[in-house]
Structure 1
Amino acid sequence: MPAAAVEYGRRMDDGEFAALVERHRAELRVHCYRMLGSFQEAEDLVQEVFLRAWRGRAGFQGRSSARAWLYRIATNVCLDVLRSRAPRLLPYQAGSPSGAGAASWLQPFPDHLREPVAARSEEPEAAAVARETMELAFLAAIQQLPARQRAAVILHDVLGWPARQTAEALDGTVASVNSALQRARATLRDHLPPGRTEWAPTAPPSDDDRRLVRRYMSAVERGDLVQLAELLAADVRATMPPYPEWFSDRESLLDALARSWDPGSAEYVGAMRMLDVPVNGQLGVAGYVRAVAGQPYLPFAIGVLRIEDGRIAELTAFHEPALFPAFLLPPSLDR
């Protein structure tokens, strides 16, 4: 390492260093989220990345390598975490519809924090981020990979890093990275929907899709099972982390909802109100519930909808009230 580069890193003051790393905060949060499948962990680990970067700033080789340097630190911070815990999943990955085994569940990610990364003249590799995807299908699939394979796929196939740069970030060889990528891609083909093995975003939601979501929100608020049945695919898959049970068809889902929407049932949840909110680059909704008339509606779940052929093919409702502030959602609704 050139002596001048080491000296440059050492002489940065707190303000200069903060400005240097802060512009990468959003993309590093996304990177940690992809690696870990947890928004809350990603938030915490970005701070750990910056702390490690500050402590190791003498090794920073100049402004042109800032992004790659921080990604390398972030990747290793995530790998340290993954050595001590199981991957995060969705309930359908952990067991049968009647009740999955105990597991840690994937979390949703707020779209407003997924800021686009513009290419800079000193960091041309940043342009590759435009190809990213944050769809739940990809996040769920990639959690099936061993940690180093996961890192290799994210750095090489998602971010577009060359094999040599990926190998440097993982302290490996080009041959080991290529081998890891080959094994990882084979695993992903088994877990991704047909035709979705390319790391590229799908088309933006259509006007018809948005209208369907509005009809879904209205049906939920009115507790209208007949209307909801018209919107669901026959083989709709529905999950609600952290509850392990999930549903693999319209009839079983409607049967469960009939009980939870019936005020006379022991399983009654309460009256619902809905807001639309983009989640993981997909159409999403925020559900609020009121168990007692006259009280405000309180945060209940953040839902992500996948639509195919004019029907809801998958519904993932994350029962994560604590995440509502991160999505800039109100703490309650009065109506």
Structure 2
Amino acid sequence: MTTTASETFDETFREQVEPLRREIMAHCYRMMGSVHDAEDLVQEAYIRAWRAFRGFEGRSSVRTWMYQIATNVCLTALESKKRRPLPTGLGQPNADPNAALDQRTEVPWLEPMPDDLVWGGAGVDPSDDVISRDSVRLAFVAALQHLNPQQRAVLILRDVLAWQASEVAELLELTTAGVNSTLQRARANMAKLDPEAKPELPDDERRRTLLKDYVAAFENYDVAKIVSLLSQDAVWEMPPFLGWYQGAADIGTLIKNYCPADGPESQRLLATWANGQPAFGLYMRDDEGVHRPFQMHQLTITEEGVSHVVCYFDTDLFATFGLPEVWTPEAAAAS
């Protein structure tokens, strides 16, 4: 069968551009703070690239060219979108666990990124990939959302992707001096928003044991055990609720006050990975005895224990992470 010119073109495009999809996805996620927005914008970037590919003259690498397209797509999208914070990024002090919960569903909250979308498999070591774990770390992406779009783009292109200032200037239609000035301001803001954190516990037997204990504590509804697994200064936040809570004791009080579980087996957890960190889909038993999606937990683990938990109440994330609509023993066995 004779290969047409159109088929040859499509094959050449796929061979050169498709291998970049995961890192372009990570780039759009850093810019937007939303996995759903990032997926849409990656699709838009690839459509634009396909349309422009015949005119690509090779004055830069295909990789650089794709980042140029994706960055412009994101900057255009950000013109009509608000930043995506976490509750800890709103500027209010930690909340009283005995006070009423304040829910704001209209806020466009920061979303977690499934590891499968950027590393191709749960638990894959990001150090072996072009996408570093640190570059999609939740705290880093959360801090980026406080920068204006231009600062965000400059910092990512310069500090994450290691572009030259002259390359960034050409893309963003700035002077090199303007890029350097913008980068300086962005770095200063990031130093305040994302200070150097305690190193996370490596993926070793101790961490694996802690994660097993975390699952058991929730599935047994053992609040005292949950508290014992937290570091003393642990932070707990749960968008779309505005409040955030600090300290193991206060977090235990919050769970006792507001968790709808009524005893062992009320809750079931399935493991996944987000932003290079361990995460769980938590299923709550309903009146029919079926465990349905309730919230997702994303954990930061240090030498002191679980130091940060973000509980996302957006149950649409379960489908994004490939988690089933209901918990079953078979799903747990496969997790």
Aligned-partner residue type, residue 309 of structure 2: L
Q: Is the 8 A contact 2:235 2:309 kept in 1?
A: yes
Distance 1:203 1:224, change over 3 A: closer
Q: Is the 8 A contact 1:128 1:160 kept in 2?
A: no
Distance 1:14 1:242, change over 3 A: same
Within 5 Å, give how 1:236-315 maps onto structure 2.
236-261=234-259, 271-295=266-290, 297-315=291-309
Counterpart of 2:273 in 1: which secondary structure? Answer: coil
Shift of 1:181: 1.0
Q: Is the 8 A contact 2:200 2:301 kept in 1?
A: no
Distance 1:237 1:326 in 2: 25
Q: Is the 8 A contact 1:221 1:271 kept in 2?
A: yes
Q: Which moved more, 1:217-226 or 1:237-246?
A: 237-246
User: 2:99: which partner in 1?
Assistant: none
Q: Is the 8 A contact 1:129 1:160 kept in 2?
A: no
Shift of 1:229: 1.5
Map Cα deviations across residues 102-133 of structure 1 (whole Å, 9 max, x no partner): 631110111122138xxxxxxxxxx8645752
User: 2:186: which partner in 1?
Assistant: 184
Counterpart of 2:68 in 1: which secondary structure? Answer: helix
Counterpart of 2:136 in 1: which secondary structure? Answer: coil
> How many corresponding residue pairs?
308
Q: Does 1:112 align with 2:116?
A: yes
Distance 2:279 2:16 in 1: 34
Q: Is the 8 A contact 1:275 1:287 kept in 2?
A: yes
Shift of 1:228: 1.1
Distance 1:262 1:110 in 2: 27
Shift of 1:76: 0.7
User: 1:123: which partner in 2?
Assistant: none
Q: Is the 8 A contact 1:223 1:261 kept in 2?
A: no
Within 5 Å, give how 1:162-181 maps onto structure 2.
162-181=164-183
Map Cα deviations across residues 290-318 of structure 1 (whole Å, 9 max, x no partner): 122532x1222221111223321110011
- The structure 1 segments of at least 4 consecutive aligned residues displaced by more than 6 Å after TM superposition are none
Q: Is the 8 A contact 1:307 1:313 kept in 2?
A: yes
Distance 1:151 1:256, change over 3 A: same
Counterpart of 1:172 in 2: which secondary structure? Answer: coil
Counterpart of 1:219 in 2: which secondary structure? Answer: helix
Distance 2:52 2:274 in 1: 35
Root-mean-square deviation (CA, aligned residues, Å) is: 2.8
Distance 1:12 1:263, change over 3 A: closer
User: 2:33: which partner in 1?
Assistant: 37
Q: Is the 8 A contact 1:238 1:246 kept in 2?
A: yes
Q: Is the 8 A contact 1:92 1:239 kept in 2?
A: yes
Distance 2:189 2:56 in 1: 36
Distance 2:230 2:171 in 1: 44
TM-score under structure 1 length normalisation: 0.83
Shift of 1:219: 0.6
Counterpart of 2:182 in 1: which secondary structure? Answer: helix
TM-score under structure 2 length normalisation: 0.83
Distance 1:137 1:130, change over 3 A: closer
Aligned-partner residue type, residue 256 of structure 2: A
Unmatched segments (≥5 aa) in structure 1: 1-9, 117-126
Q: Is the 8 A contact 2:221 2:261 kept in 1?
A: no
Distance 2:260 2:293 in 1: 20
Shift of 1:215: 0.7
Shift of 1:254: 1.5
Shift of 1:16: 3.0
Shift of 1:63: 9.0
Query: Higher relative contact order at CA 8 Å, sep ≥6: structure 1 or structure 2?
Result: 2
Counterpart of 2:113 in 1: which secondary structure? Answer: coil
Distance 1:192 1:224 in 2: 33
Distance 1:59 1:172 in 2: 24
Identity, in percent, stands at 38
Q: Is the 8 A contact 2:134 2:140 kept in 1?
A: no
Q: Is the 8 A contact 1:26 1:113 kept in 2?
A: yes
Distance 2:177 2:216 in 1: 54
Q: Does 1:22 align with 2:21?
A: no
Aligned residue among 47, 50, 53 for 2:46: 50
Distance 2:292 2:116 in 1: 22
Distance 1:162 1:128 in 2: 18
Distance 1:60 1:278, change over 3 A: same
Aligned-partner residue type, residue 287 of structure 1: L
Q: Does 1:133 align with 2:131?
A: no
